Structure 1
Amino acid sequence: MKALLLSAYAADSHRYWARGLMAHLEAIDWTLIELAPRHFQWRVRGNPLSFMSEHDATLSQSFDLVVATSLVDLATLIGLYPHLGCAFRVVYFHENQFAYPLGDQQTRRLEPLMVNLYSALAADRVLFNSQWNRDSFFDGVAAFLKKMPERVAPSRLEALKTHSEVLPVPLWPLAQAPSSGQGTPARILWNHRWEYDKNPEDFFTALEVLSGSGLEFELVVMGQVFRHRPEVFDHARSRLARHITCWGHQTRERYLEELGKGGIVVSTAWHEFQGLAVMEAVQHGCVPLVPERLCFPEYYARAYRYDGSRQALITRLEQWLMSPDSRPASPDISSWAWPQMRPRYQARLQSTK
C-alpha cells in the first residue's frame, strides 16, 4: 500500500505520532510531507499553497491512502489534486479548533474552524485521540453551524459521526522497564509546552505556596520553549531557584533521562486533548497528578486526579510530599504503547472504502 502522510503544522506531538506510524506500520510505503510549526494563521489557511509550491511532483503521484492531520486543508488540496480523492482518506485530530482556549486579547477566527470541518467532511474516516476531543468537536460544530446566516442541514454532520472513532497517539515502547517512581527524592515535573493554555500560573503559584511553607522538593521544568512565553516562567525561575534541578528545553536524551528519575508529573492545563507529555512521563515511572477536566478522566483513575482548583492541587501535592507512601503507584499504561496499538491502527488505515 502506498500512503501519503500530510502534516500542516508539525509540532512535537505531531512529529512523534507521524514517525510512530512510519516506524510501526512498516508494511505501508509511506511518503511524509510536513510543514514547520510556525505562523499558525498562515499555515492553517495557506497550507495547500505551501504544499503545492514545495511538493507538486510528490502530490501529483497516485496513492492508495492519504492520512492528514486536522490542520491540513484536505478539501482544498483534493480540489487542486483531484486524483487524491480516489485514495482512502483519513484525517487525524490531535486537537480541534472549536475547543481551543483563547488567550488574552484573542478572538475566535473562522478560518481554523472551517478548515477542521471541511477536512473532516472530505475524509472517509476521522480519528480523534480522545473521546473529549471527539465530543468537543461535534458539539462545537453544532453550535457553530447555528450561527450561520443560512440554515445548514445537519444530515452530513450526523453521517460524519458514523465514520469517526477514538484512537489515541501510541507511545513508543521503552528499551527497558521504568522505575516505580516511589524511591526517588521528592521531585515535581512540568514537561509541557510553555504557553498560556497549559495554565502555568496555577502550577507555579502552588509550588510557591509549598516552598513558602518550608516543604523540600526538586523541581524539573522542561518542554517546548518558544520565543514568546508567559512571563510567569521567568518569575518562577527566580522565586523557586533553590528547588530547580533542570530548567528549559532539553535534548531528547536528557528529557527522557529526567523522566526516568521519577517523581510527580503535574498538569494544570486548560487545553489537553490527550496529554501526551503526561503519558510519556507516566510511561517512565512518574506518578500523574491531573485535573478533573478535559481528556484526563478518560485516561487516569480518580486517585490521580484533583478537582482542578489551585487549592486542591496544593493540598494533594502537600500530602504526597509529606507522606510519600500515600501516593498511588504509577499506573500501568502499557496498553497505550505501539505493540498493543498497532493492530487497531492497521485495521483503521488499511481498510477499503
Structure 2
Amino acid sequence: MNKILQSMLITVMVLFTAGQFSVHAHQVSTPQLTSEAAILIDGKSGQVLYEKNAEQKMYPASITKIVTAIIAIEQGNLLETVTVSENATAADGTRVYLVEDEEVYLERLVQGLMINSGNDAGTAIAEHMAGSEEAFSAKMNQFVKEEIGAENSNFTNPHGLYHEDHYTTAHDMAMIAKYAMENETFREIAGTKEMEWNGEGWETTIYNHHRLLWDYEGTTGVKNGFVSQAGFTLVTSADKDGRELIAVTLKAPTAEISYDDTIKLFDYGFENYYTEEIAEDAVFESTDGTEYQLGAEAYVTLAADTNMEKEVDDEFLVVRGEDGSVLLEKELIPLKDSSETEEENDELHKEEDAEVEVQQTNWLQRILSLFNL
C-alpha cells in the first residue's frame, strides 16, 4: 500500500512540476519592480513596452550627464581646448580631478563626464559652452524640449547634484537616451568600459560606473547616478539580435536593485516583443487608388505572436495592433503617375533650354560689343 501511495505521489509531483514549467514557458509575465518609477521603450520605434509612474517628477542625479554630453557633442567642437576654471575644480562629488588652468580637449571632458561621472568635467563643459552653469542649464532645458520633446524636465546644473528644481521623469529620460544613442560619438563614449586618463592632477585608468556593461550581455550604455534625495537612478540600453531596448529606473533603494530591475525589464522586453521595419520605399494604396510612400523608414513594435494592420487614412499611414490600438501614425507622400512625371521633366527641360538660350544671347552680345558692332 505504501509503495502504491508513493508511486501516485511521485506521479502527481512530476505532472505538477511539468505543468509549472509549461505555464512559465508561455506566460507573458509583467515584471514586478522595486524602483519607484521605471519605463522600457524600444530604441527604434520609441514605443513604450512597460511603465511604472513614468510621468512622475523625480530627481535624476548623474543621469543628467546624458543631456550635458549630447549637447557638447552636437553643439560643441570636440577638438577645442577647454581651460579649466577654479570653480570647476571645486565641484562636489565624483571628479576626474581637474586642475585650475589645465587645458583639456572638450572630447576628453565628455569622456570623463560619462565614463567616470566627473562633476568637475560637467562644470568645465558648461562654462566653456555657455559661460556659466546657469546659462548652460537654460540651454539644456531648451534643447530637451525643442529637439527631443521632453516637456516634463527641468535642469539647474550639468551634473545632477541635488537641487529642488532639478527634476525629470522616466519617460523624458527614455526619450533623451533614445535621441542621444542615435549619435555615434555619444554611443561610443557611453559604451566605453575603460580608458587611460592622463591629466595634470590625475593619471589612472578610469572604469565606466555602469556595471551592466560587464554583467548583462548586449548592454551598449548609458549612465547611472546617485544622490541621497534621488536614490539610485539608472538609464541603460541593450541590444539583442539587432533590437535595442532602453530602460530607465528611478529611485531604487540600492544600486543592486536598480540593476536587477533593469535586467527584469530587458528580459521582459526581449522575450515578449519584436520590432518590424517599414521601408521608406514601401507603397501604400488608399481606397480611391492613390499610391503613397513614407519617404523615410519607420519602426513598429508588437507583442510576440501578433501582427499589425496597415491602412491609409487621409494621407496618413495608420498602423494598428490586433487589439485595434494605434501603434504608428505617419504622414505619407503621394506618388506621381508617369504622365505627371513626364510633364514635369518636359517643363524642366524647357526651363533649362530657355536659360541656355539667354546665356548664349548674352555671350553673343558681349562679343559684338567688343567689335563695336
TM-score normalised by structure 1 residue count:
0.24
Larger radius of gyration: 2
TM-score normalised by structure 2 residue count:
0.23
More helix, by proportion: 1
